[in-house]
Amino acid sequence: METTIQLTDSMLFDEVPCYISIQDRDYKIIKTNRRFRETFGDRIGEYCYVVYKMREDKCPVCPMDKTFSEGKIFESEELVFSPEGFPVYVNAQTAPIYDNNGNIVAAIEMATDITESKKLQRRLEESIEKYRMLYNVVPCFISVQNKDFIVIDANKKFKDEFGDYRNKYCYYLYKKRDSRCEICPVAETFEDGKIHTSEEIVAGKDGILMNILVLAAPIKNESGEITAVMEMTTDITDIKRIQSQMANVGQLVANLAHTIKGIISGLDGGMYVVESGFRQNKDEIIKKGWEMVQRNVERVSHLVLDMLYYAKDRVPEKQEIFIDKVCEEIVELYSKKLNDLNISTKLDLRFSDYFFGDSKAIYTLILNLIENAIDACKWDSNKNQHNIEILLSYYDNFIYLTVIDDGHGMSDDVKSKLFTPLYSTKGSSGSGFGLMVVKKIVDEHNGEIKVESEIGKGSKFIIKLPISKL
């Protein structure tokens, strides 16, 4: 059995669940519904701006005003106040009311309370802002990439390191490539929807290479489809450097043990020959054994000094140095050894002024370079006579120290490893410290080192040091 409900216009007007008021052209309220009266009270005859906004004059931007002037429906969001002073956010719609002659005589305003929605919206905006802030301050590079590997969003750290990302491919931003990387965690995540990781080397600010740990995670829509991938990368350059240093420590210990074992064997051999000479009462055998002992004691001395220098981080103690005098002094020091090995030397010292540097370090640098040249000649059995040239010159505020030998020379592979920690070109007779110390001293003086070499023709070490004067 159907029930018929009779609804009058008055009932509909009163029961609509929003605030309804009718206002005349002077903005005075002439009629209200029950919901309005329950919240704002009986305000017939009062101005709308007094009732809603507690103002003394008309609002600067008034939807009622527009409705009266243009005869159209307008919608706006407004902040009004209850009689107790509580804020109420409303969505207001105004519409004109015409008389029989088609003139606008009043306007109706329907305002829906959206206070709770605004609170939820504000909370959402605060949450978004909070997560955006976390997104930007997190200490890693974050980017969001679409299926074409174009970066569509990135955090502040990413922008600071890789620059403007808009409409650029990730592989260009990271590696300056023109095509996608062969192994790509983002592509793998798009394919299977799982989290993938990898270690990469990328070019950061100013082209400086860095090691990064990459983690790619899917971003899905409400249907579960992957629409983008978030890539989080952490700079692990320092960690990789520490790993390399730890590996070098292990290599250092092994090489030192091998070098020290060789020195001990040499000392044992020398002492055995000396004892044999005493037993046989032969001076030549004693002399030969004693020379063996001296050579190995000298090796111990050089090894300890190089170890101490390389192991210690130090700031150069700068003082006045005459490099030409240092070169002459070291050549004089090695004169007997050079003569015994049939090695001639040529000094071409065209810079006799002074510069400020660490005198002990510069002495060690030149000593190691000359000793390295002597060893290169000594190990070359294809010539009976060898030559070493030491050149010193000045040009454009730089000192150039060049040491040239005509020893056995080096291959490109050996040259590429010269300054690798503990790499020696002398086999078991070398410690690998000498050229490491040379490189360290050059770096401490903000200089450069260049090596030219060819097998069978010899080697050239060129040291470029900036003039430093106080």
Domain assignment present for 130? no
Close Cβ partners of 110 (under 8 Å, ≥ 6 residues apart):
16, 18, 19, 20, 92, 93, 94, 95
In this prediction, residue 470 carries a pLDDT of 42
**247 and 220 in a common domain:** no
CATH number, domain containing residue 382: 3.30.565.10
- How many alpha carbons lie under 13 Å from residue 50 in its C-beta half-sphere? 13
Name residues whose C-beta falls within 8 Å of residue 207's C-beta, 6 or more positions apart in sequence.
Answer: none
Count of Cβ atoms closer than 10 Å to residue 406 Cβ: 20
Residue 122 lies in a domain: no
Strands (E), 99-169: 104-113, 141-145, 151-154
pLDDT band (50, 70, 90) for residue 12: confident
Domain assignment of residue 368, given as a range: 314-470
| Selection from 99, 97, 116, 98 nearest residue 108 by Cα | 97
| Residue 172 included in any domain | yes
Residues 231, 368, single domain; the answer is: no
Give the residue-averaged pLDDT of 27-35. 93
In a domain, 73, yes or no: yes
Sheet holding 209-220, edge to edge: 151-154, 141-145, 226-235, 209-220, 196-203
More confident residue, 107 or 283: 107
What residue type is 56 in one-letter code?
A: E
Last residue of a domain, one of 235, 257, 288: 235
Domain count, the chain: 4
In this predicted structure, which of 102-116, 151-165, 235-249 has the lowest mean pLDDT? Answer: 235-249
Dihedral sign for Cα 448, 454, 455, 459, please. Answer: negative
- 200 and 305 both lie in a single domain: no
Question: Are 408 and 260 contained in the same domain?
Answer: no
Which of 133, 142, 132 has its CA nearest to residue 235? Answer: 142
333 pLDDT band, cuts 50/70/90, is: confident
| % of the chain residues with pLDDT over 70 | 87
Say what the pTM is.
0.47
**One domain for residues 466 and 378:** yes
Q: Mind listing the pLDDT tens digit for each residue in 231-244? A: 999 999 888 888 77
- Residues 412 and 431 both lie in one domain: yes
252 and 170 within one domain: no
CATH code at position 207:
3.30.450.20
pLDDT tens track for 361-400? 888 888 889 988 998 898 888 888 999 999 999 988 899 9
Q: Could you tell me if 157 and 229 lie in one domain?
A: yes
Domain end residue (candidates: 64, 82, 114): 114
Residue 381 lies in a domain: yes
Say which residues have a Cβ less than 8 Å from residue 322's Cβ, sequence separation at least 6.
Answer: 352, 353, 354
Q: Residue 428: its pLDDT value, please?
A: 46
Residue 412 has what pLDDT?
A: 82
Q: Is residue 3 part of a domain?
A: no
Q: Band of the pLDDT at 410, cuts 50, 70, 90?
A: confident
Q: Are residues 263 and 406 in the same domain?
A: no
Q: Are residues 300 and 435 in the same domain?
A: no
In a domain, 124, yes or no: no
Residues 388/374, Cβ–Cβ less than 8 Å: yes
The predicted-structure confidence for 412-460, as pLDDT tens digits, reads as follows 878 777 776 555 555 444 455 678 788 888 888 889 999 999 888 899 9
Most confident region among 106-110, 134-138, 298-302, 349-353 by mean pLDDT: 106-110
Give the confidence band of 280 by pLDDT, cuts at 50, 70, 90.
confident
Q: Are 388 and 377 in contact (CB under 8 A)?
A: yes
- Among 312, 335, 350, identify where a domain stops: 312
**Same domain flag for 206 and 82:** no
What mean pLDDT comes out for the span 257-283?
78
Q: What does pLDDT average to over the chain?
A: 85
Across the beta sheet with 398-405, the strand order is 343-349, 386-395, 398-405, 458-466, 448-454
Is 119 inside any structural domain? Answer: no
**Whether the predicted pLDDT of 359 surpasses 90:** no
Confidence at 1, pLDDT banded by 50, 70, 90: very low
- Residues 230, 262, single domain; the answer is no
* CB contact at 8 A, 327 and 390: yes
